[in-house]
């Protein structure tokens, strides 16, 4: 748990898995990806924050989809 920097009142303690779609620019154009990552939610204002492992998951998804482009 950590304090919410946005509202200053709540803490990030709830967590849930969410599916996120994103696109990332590459030398072959935009690469579209979908991942499931853990998201923490502030109990006071509802602000969401990605789990620190989310970046690794998103990078792996990008590499996988990029490789499919040939």
- List, for residues 16-70, the tens digit of each pLDDT value: 899 999 999 999 999 999 999 999 999 999 999 998 899 999 999 999 999 999 8
Specify the CATH number of the domain 2-68.
3.10.20
- What pTM, to 2 d.p., does this model score? 0.77
* Cα angle 53, 3, 12; round to 5: 50
Q: Which residue has the tokens 């998804």?
A: 61
- The domain limits of the chain are 2-68
pLDDT, residue 47, reads 93
Q: What is the H or E stretch that residue 21 is in?
A: strand 11-26
């Amino acid at each position: 748990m950590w304090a919410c920097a946005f509202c200053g009142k709540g803490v990030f303690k709830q967590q849930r898995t969410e599916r996120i779609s994103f696109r990332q620019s590459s030398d072959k154009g935009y690469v579209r990806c979908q991942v499931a990552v853990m998201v923490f939610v502030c109990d006071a204002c509802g602000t969401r924050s990605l789990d620190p492992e989310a970046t690794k998951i998103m990078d792996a998804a990008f590499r996988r989809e990029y490789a499919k482009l040939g």
